[in-house]
Amino acid sequence: MRKVSLGFCGVVLGLLLLAPAVFGQDFGNTMTESRLFNVEMGFLAGYDFGAEETVTGSSTALNLAILENAEIGFVRVSFSSDDGVAVADTYNLLRFNYFFTQQLSLSLASGAESGSAAGSLGGNFLLVRSIPEDGFSSTMKINVQYLFNEAAGIGDGTLGISLLGTIGL
């Protein structure tokens, strides 16, 4: 007969008790944009201080709620020059959103743009927020952010204003 250590039994018992605690949570009292995750899409306009021109673009993201007032997201922001033909900059970022209230959050991100380190600092204001107890959640928000990269320097970044929508669980 094989002996099982007391430590192993403790770990198994802990995992068995942890699963109901994690999956049995009440996600209804959240300040984030969704209880679990959401997909975000939208359009933006801004000004590129380095090129001294207006830009337009799009933003897509996958956000995951990690706390009742915080979420992380994988974000892709693409800018086109003012002629709208060529993509000028594409940022791939890991973003952290911290919610002060159900309508206001701070957004910090870091990642890369065209092979150089990049970052972003901004804020979100939720215009419409719907998180029912069962089913899909949705929001519409205004985002203001300043994006910059290492190659151009912090002073030659892009200030963008976005109208974004999310749908998630």
Which of the residue ranges 5-9, 20-24, 27-31, 155-159 would you say has the lowest mean pLDDT?
20-24
Please write the tens of the pLDDT for every residue from 26-47.
445 789 999 999 999 999 999 9
Tell me the pTM. 0.79
Using alpha carbons only, give the angle 60, 77, 158 rounded to the nearest 5 degrees.
145
Under a CB-based contact definition with an 8 Å cutoff, are residues 108 and 96 in contact? yes
Average pLDDT rounded to a whole number, residues 63-88 = 86
